[in-house]
Amino acid sequence: MIPDNEVERVRESADIVGVIGEYVELKRQGADFRGPCPFHQGTHRNFSVSPKKRLYYCFVCHEHGDVFTFVQKRLGLDWPGSVRLVAEKTGIELHEVKSTRNEGPDPREPLWEANAAAAQYFQRVLWEDDLGRQAREYLAQRVVTRELADRFGLGFAPREIGLMRAHLNTIGIDDARQLTAGLLARRSEDEEPRPRFRQRLVFPILDLSSRVVGFGGRLIAPGEPKYLNSAESAVYSKGSLLYNLNQARLGARREDRIFVVEGYFDAMRLVGAGMDSVVAPLGTALTEGQAELIKRYSKNVFLLYDSDKAGLKATFRAGDILLKQGLSVRVVSLPNGEDPDTFVQQHGRDALERAVTASIDVFDRKVQILERGGWFADLHKRRKAVDYLLPTIRACVDPVMRDLYLARATEASRVDRRVLEEEAGASPDRGRRAAERPAAPPPPPPEQERPRPMRARARVKGAAISAEQLLVRAMLSERSVIERVAERFGPDSFQEPTYQEIFEHLLLLGESATIEALADGMSPEAIDVMQDLLAEPEAIQHLEKSVEDSLSRLELRQLEERNRAINALIPMAHGDEKDRLMAEKVTNQQVIGRLLQARDK
């Protein structure tokens, strides 16, 4: 068996012009190469090979594909044979998984089979069963045609607990396999298995070989969570898959661009409008693994997220991840209140293409928002604005774009470029290694003002995250702790997003809230973390002392962060403002000293 990553390695390395040129007389024409088509025995140069897109196309018979497709069709080889031949011509040694070939079928085959059977079941319920009537009405309201739904294999998981399970049992897929595939779930060995997806519109998620590896489920009745994805399994890892990539990759190569949207409906709508190179993360923020996948097919990425505050936050988070891969990242802005789905419905593809043409670089979009909000007009706001820009500068590994970002930030903020370089870890003597660091903290206080060595201070920062974990665990197991924590800190003081989310829900629902009520409104990630914390209530020893120590650690972190912010503000301040900042710093330093002294006793 040839793993997918090996196939992609060969595809990326192969000289498609060289391989096809062994069978077709090709001549350069602009950026591409032309020759007579070998498939319909043409005599004119209607057969085009694009080295940039790594694709071929005949303008007469419309044969098209990549280097593997050509070898398959021209020489009559099967898929593995075509990959091996191209690898040999390219000088690449394939690392095949031979053990599964020798010992029998791929061990993941039973999971692919179970998911494929479930997808067929969900599809039948949606279109042929009265149980799917509400889902059909929901699709009609969202103007999703049967043709478009079938293109993506949409289905419906009924509310009834035993139907899917019984159906799969009758065709030989037992409970154990359904549990392993994530189609069924149970909280304990004694509990009866229940379907993971109930009363949900179901979107099959396919890998690059177009095998069903999991599902995304959209609740069509009131309740939470609105979206639910398959659990991690041997075939499904949401951080290394992208929705619709199996279909989008050829379009991405052909057009040398790829669109990233937030949701399944956004992807479907754009594909339905004729935009083929559209992908979406699987219900979570874009990951580095997904960015690496995108990089395989195009270096030109267009972020097309919702226009609200949450959408902008997701846009810039994704932008930084993509910049770390050396990609060109542009933001497509839609009118307020619009998302890609509604925008294309109301205005059509041409209007969206105009918005794409008007898109701007992700860093320019950040600066634009800050300028319109007046963030560069006030000293303290300017400091925060610079902090908002720095992660994107740090993320950019392209040295030319990084230099342009620094120049643009200097112009917008009126902060000396050398200061920005230092803050971003981008001074000339640090070179590209500094550019590839995910983050660089602001400079520490001068040596004589440090209460402890830097190594000890680094431990304090890590200890603060551990303190967040302990406090959340304490609030879950002993609800009276909630008020005590809330008196000194709000959820925004927690830096770990899942701990922050759990804290927010505890505050919102109060001390009497059940675990089930808390979970109803949480993201899947936060639910997993909460379950892990609840599984080890005995991890807290000496509750009173542990809580107080954790609160002190968070206070220590806040004071240190504030002093670092003051250090950055001082070069931009003058007169009374500078004196006030210096006085605040001295006071903070005294409190830090007392906290450290008390903790070390």
**pLDDT tens digits, 291-310:** 988 988 889 999 999 988 88
What is the overall mean pLDDT for the chain? 85
3-state secondary structure of 535: coil
- Least confident among 57-66, 160-169, 482-491, 516-525: 516-525
Which pLDDT belongs to residue 128? 96
Residue 384 near residue 378, CB atoms below 8 Å:
no
What span, in angstroms and rounded, lies between the C-alpha atoms of 366 and 381? 14
Query: How confident is the model over 578-588, as a mean pLDDT?
Result: 84
Which pLDDT belongs to residue 442? 33
10 Å CB burial of residue 365 (0-12, 13-18, 19+) is: buried
**pLDDT tens digits, 179-227:** 999 999 987 777 889 999 999 999 999 988 789 999 999 999 888 888 9
Residue 448 pLDDT grade (very low, low, confident, very high; cuts 50, 70, 90): very low
Side by side, the strands of the sheet bearing 278-279 are: 278-279, 258-260, 300-303, 328-331, 360-361
Q: Which two tokens stand for residue 123?
A: 């599809």
**pLDDT tens digits, 38-66:** 888 888 888 999 988 889 998 888 888 89
Give the phi and the psi of residue 519 in degrees, each rounded to 5.
-65, -30
Closest to 476 in 3D by CA, of 495, 499, 494:
499
Q: Which two tokens stand for residue 321?
A: 């991840």
Q: How many CB atoms lie within 10 A of CB 222?
A: 6
Which pLDDT belongs to residue 595? 82
Query: How confident is the model over 12-23, as a mean pLDDT?
Result: 88
Residue 536 pLDDT grade (very low, low, confident, very high; cuts 50, 70, 90): low
Residue 417 pLDDT greater than 70, yes or no? yes
For residue 344, which amino acid is it?
V
Which pLDDT belongs to residue 172? 96
Which pLDDT belongs to residue 451? 32
User: Bigger pLDDT: 411 or 546?
Assistant: 411
Residue 445 near residue 566, CB atoms below 8 Å:
no
User: Which run of H or of E encompasses 228?
Assistant: strand 227-229
* CA count, 13 A, side-chain hemisphere, 341: 14
Which is it for strands 32-35 and 328-331: parallel, antiparallel or unpaired?
unpaired
Percentage of residues in the chain having pLDDT higher than 90: 44
Which pLDDT belongs to residue 236? 92
Outline where 142-219 has alpha helix (H): 146-151, 163-170, 175-181
Residue 257 near residue 251, CB atoms below 8 Å:
no
Residue 540 near residue 546, CB atoms below 8 Å:
yes
10 Å CB burial of residue 248 (0-12, 13-18, 19+) is: buried
What span, in angstroms and rounded, lies between the C-alpha atoms of 220 and 120? 20
The angle that helices 288-297 and 309-323 make with each other, rounded to 10 degrees, is 70
Query: How confident is the model over 144-159, as a mean pLDDT?
Result: 96
Does domain 109-236 correspond to CATH entry 3.90.980.10?
yes
Place of tokens 């070998």: 38
Which pLDDT belongs to residue 184? 94
User: Bigger pLDDT: 457 or 562?
Assistant: 562
Which pLDDT belongs to residue 455? 33
Which pLDDT belongs to residue 138? 96
**pLDDT tens digits, 218-265:** 999 888 888 999 988 989 988 889 999 988 987 887 788 999 999 999
**pLDDT tens digits, 97-150:** 654 444 557 788 999 999 999 999 999 999 999 999 999 999 999 999 999 999
* CA count, 13 A, side-chain hemisphere, 73: 14
Residue 539 pLDDT grade (very low, low, confident, very high; cuts 50, 70, 90): low
Residue 269 pLDDT greater than 50, yes or no? yes
- Specify which residues 32 forms β-bridges with: 29
| Homologous superfamily in CATH for domain 447-600 | DNAb Helicase; Chain A (1.10.860.10)
Does domain 245-358 correspond to CATH entry 3.40.1360.10?
yes
Residue 433 pLDDT greater than 50, yes or no? no
Query: How confident is the model over 566-586, as a mean pLDDT?
Result: 79
Place of tokens 């052909």: 254
Query: How confident is the model over 476-505, as a mean pLDDT?
Result: 83
Q: How far apart are the first and last CA of the chain?
A: 61
Residue 493 pLDDT greater than 70, yes or no? yes
Residue 177 pLDDT greater than 60, yes or no? yes
What span, in angstroms and rounded, lies between the C-alpha atoms of 495 and 236? 29
Residue 334 pLDDT grade (very low, low, confident, very high; cuts 50, 70, 90): very high
Residue 532 pLDDT greater than 80, yes or no? no
Query: How confident is the model over 565-580, as a mean pLDDT?
Result: 77
Residue 285 near residue 318, CB atoms below 8 Å:
yes
- pTM here? 0.62
Torsion of CA 471, 454, 442, 393, to 10 degrees: -90
The angle that helices 524-534 and 454-477 make with each other, rounded to 10 degrees, is 80
Residue 388 pLDDT grade (very low, low, confident, very high; cuts 50, 70, 90): very high
What residues have CB less than 8 Å from 22, skipping those under 6 apart?
Answer: none
For residue 171, which amino acid is it?
I
Cα 22 from chain centre: 41
Place of tokens 């339905």: 272
Which pLDDT belongs to residue 162? 92
Q: Which two tokens stand for residue 534?
A: 């609840």
Which pLDDT belongs to residue 386? 93
- Specify which residues 217 forms β-bridges with: 202, 228
User: Bigger pLDDT: 508 or 415?
Assistant: 415
Q: Where are the domains of the chain?
A: 4-101, 109-236, 245-358, 368-435, 447-600
CATH architecture for the domain at 4-101? Alpha-Beta Complex (3.90)
Question: 3-state DSSP: the chain helix, strand, coil percent, rounded to 5?
Answer: 60, 10, 30
DSSP strand E in 276-392: where?
278-279, 300-303, 328-331, 360-361
What residues have CB less than 8 Å from 568, skipping those under 6 apart?
Answer: 383, 386, 423, 442, 443
10 Å CB burial of residue 496 (0-12, 13-18, 19+) is: middle
Residue 456 pLDDT greater than 50, yes or no? no
Residue 377 pLDDT grade (very low, low, confident, very high; cuts 50, 70, 90): confident
- Specify which residues 249 forms β-bridges with: none
What span, in angstroms and rounded, lies between the C-alpha atoms of 224 and 508? 15
Query: How confident is the model over 375-404, as a mean pLDDT?
Result: 92
- Least confident among 131-145, 306-320, 472-486: 472-486
